[in-house]
Amino acid sequence: MRRLHISRRALLVAALVALTLAFIGITLASSRGLRAARIDLTADHLYTLTPGTQHIIDGLHRPLKLTLYFSEHATRDLPQLRSYEQRVREMLQEMVARSRGRIRLAVIDPVPYSDDEASAEGGGLTPINGGSNGERVFFGLVGNTLPGSEGEGGERNLSIAFFDPARETFLEYDIAKLLYELDQPSKPHIGLLSSLPLAGNPAIGAPSWAVVQQLEQLFEVRTIDPDNLTRVGDDIQVLLLVHPKRLPDAAVYALDQYVLRGGHLVVFVDPSADLDTAPYVDSNGITDDHNSNLPRLFAAWGVAFDPTSVVLDRSRALQIELAGSSLNHPAMLGVGPQELNHSDVVTASLQRINVSTAGSFDLTPQATTRLLPLIQSSAEAEKVPVQRVLEAASDPTTLLQGYQPENQHYVIAARLRGTFDSAFPQRAGTPGHLARSKPDSEVVLVADTDLLSDRLWVETQSFLGQPMLSVFANNGDFVTNLADNLSGSSALLSIRGRSASQRPFTRVRALQAAADQKFLLKKQELERELAETRQRLDELQPAKGGRSNAVSAQQKSEIEQFQQRRLAINKELRDVQHQLNAEIDALGLRLKVINIVLVPALVTLIGLLYGWRRVRRSRSRR
């Protein structure tokens, strides 16, 4: 029997040793081989790449190197920025893991006066001040193409100058856009079809508008002649259609088919274009009201646009100089953050866009498309005939006479999304004709052309004999963001804004708000009694002479009463603070008990029950 006992004991020890060795081996193997394997348990799947990002990474043609610059030492007193850096790094690591070696990531701390700091600045990063000991803080990403590319084109370098925590919802989009642009061999091609002189006139020395100059820095801009347009080339990634007037049917059909093929069209129309230089009545007697419209395509897309109505908004009126006087012009609007869609990547970072005599868009009752606003008026707006605005040119304040706000936000710019039908159903038998677009196709509509003009967003100043642009509104950024967003792949366009990673303690905040309200009431009560006491003391102060002793005694009595009341109110304030702390501590204690005691106890109980059942089964089999 003793020999049997020893053999069982030896077998048990051997089994334990084998299990220990197996556990260590599995742990080492998993730490090496399963680094990329993760489970995203966040509520909004913050660390799970969207299908659009996955498509961009899977389709990379060239190896890329990403360098994340983050000032570790300079941010030791900036916990919010350090927390966001962890979020950025984990997002980049997810993309690297997905790329299967196509993307390499390096993280560098650019300490002051080092080569790393110089490379960060040379890569296009913008530091901010306010770090520890006054140090500059770098927090950006530099992307480079690596040798051995399969695609054409030379090496490219792009960067995200600074990761602003305010743009956290667009973090994945910004990084995916950088990857997509690095993978492209050349600048995207932008088409410009306009009846306004945006491209300037070299024959007379007229320069192009500042918005076109800004676009030419990032894109290959091609001017298109509407009279010779029969088909928009597939190489045109975005087509800007500005102030369309009397377009030939062939050009309208080309636009129609371009949209149905998945092309990205941005339409700028206007009830009254201030920079339209065409005569109101030409030599042939043809009338031109300086408005523009796209009626045939708008009708097919379910868009309602009235080229004879202008949006007024007295709460957003711009101040102008007229005849030596400053006055507010209700037809010239400075649209601020409240009227810009900060859930859309195009307008998320913009602060102000100026427009003039703008119209508005709506959907027809039969529309099957969706209108997603980018720019709106305030609820103080109203619509008036454009003729009334023209008649008030010498005195715009007359537009405020009889002003009646309509309590409606008029849509000045929007994305139109859905399935588009052709505006030329009669050409169904034509070879290559498309009758319908794919689902979730998109067109961008803007009901103003004046926002493109220099006068509404930029001033030209001379510096050392060279012209310099001084920007005072985000009109140019709006157009550039549109072209930048639409020139990307459909996968890039599918990436939407996401939730922020910061999860506030809503229950604690509610308790804090309730306590703050109590504090506010008590503070107001104390200040009110303090004012009353001071007033009473002022009334007693002028008394002189023989009554001075009585007055002094009365003052002392008043002061003593006030001090007693102040002590009582301070005690009540402390009681409120103690109640707040007690409620927060109780909530924290409950969370600790759940996390530290209840959950482990529950797991242990389940394990014991499972072991007990196994023992019972093994005994019943004997």
pLDDT score, position 487? 87
Q: What is the pLDDT of residue 544?
A: 43
d(CA 330, CA 182): 44
In this structure, the answer to whether residues 126 and 206 fall within a common structural domain is no
Statement to judge: residues 368 and 238 lie in one domain? yes
Question: Does residue 131 sit in the same domain as residue 238?
Answer: no
pLDDT digits (tens, 9 = 90+) for 236-256: 999 999 999 999 999 999 999
Domain count, the chain: 3
Q: Name the more confident of 135 and 291.
A: 291
Q: Which residue has the higher pLDDT, 377 or 11?
A: 377
Q: Residue 120 phi/psi, 5° resolution?
A: -65, -45
Mean pLDDT for the stretch of residues 127-153 = 80
- One-letter identity of residue 504: P
Q: What average pLDDT does the segment 382-403 reach? A: 94
Residue 344 domain-assigned?
Answer: no
Please report, for the domain that includes residue 117, its CATH number.
3.40.30.10
Q: Are residues 301 and 437 in the same domain?
A: yes
Listed ranges 281-285, 425-429, 535-539, 551-555; the one with the highest mean pLDDT: 425-429
384-410 mean pLDDT: 93
Residue 207's identity, in one-letter code, is P
Residues 366 and 291 reside in one and the same domain:
yes
pLDDT reading at 31 higher than 90: no
Q: How far is CA 61 from the centre of its chain?
A: 29
Same domain, 164 and 257: no
For the chain, percent of residues with pLDDT exceeding 70? 76
Could you tell me if 172 and 205 lie in one domain?
no
Give the residue carrying structure tokens 């570790």: 72
Strands (E), 337-410: 353-356, 361-363, 370-376, 381-385
Inside any domain, residue 17: no
Shared domain for 295 and 426, answered yes or no, is yes
Residue 10 neighbours by CB distance under 10 Å = 10
The DSSP line for 265-285 is: EEEE--SS-TT--S-SB-TT-
Cβ proximity of 316 and 333 under 8 Å:
yes
pLDDT of residue 189: 93
Q: Is 515 among the domain residues?
A: yes
Q: Is the Cβ–Cβ distance between 323 and 235 less than 8 Å?
A: no
List alpha helices for 340-474, DSSP H.
386-391
Average pLDDT, the chain: 83
Q: Which domain holds residue 565?
A: 507-543+553-594
Non-local (6+) Cβ contacts of 506 within 8 A are none
- Domain check: are 157 and 217 in the same one? no
Provide mean pLDDT across the span 600-613: 80
Q: Which residue did the predictor score with more confidence, 384 or 574?
A: 384
Whether 427 is covered by a domain: the verdict is yes
Question: Does residue 326 form part of some domain?
Answer: no
Residue where one domain finishes, among candidates 161, 182, 203? 182
How much is the average pLDDT of 92-117?
92
C-alpha–C-alpha distance, residues 362 and 495, integer Å: 26
Angle separating helix axes 51-58 and 171-183, nearest 10 degrees = 20
Co-location of 198 and 269 in the same domain: yes
Kindly report which listed range (280-284, 394-398, 421-425) carries the lowest average pLDDT score.
280-284
Dump pLDDT digits (tens) for 206-242.
889 999 998 998 889 999 999 999 999 999 999 999 9
Euclidean distance between CA atoms 524 and 522, whole angstroms = 5
Do 366 and 515 share a domain, yes or no? no
pLDDT in tens, 296-314: 999 999 999 999 999 999 9
**Among 211, 252, 219, residue whose Cα is nearest residue 236:** 219
In this prediction, residue 3 carries a pLDDT of: 47
Indicate the helix (H) or strand (E) that contains 608. helix 599-621
Q: What tens digit of pLDDT does each residue of 49-96 get?
A: 888 888 889 988 889 999 999 999 889 888 889 999 999 999 999 999
- Residue 300 shares a structural domain with residue 445: yes
Q: Is residue 618 part of a domain?
A: no
Q: Note the pLDDT of residue 282.
A: 62
- Residue ending a domain, choose from 424, 458, 493: 493
CA distance 21 to 27: 10
Q: How many CB atoms lie within 10 A of CB 307?
A: 19
Domain membership flag for residue 299: yes
Residue 125 lies in a domain: yes
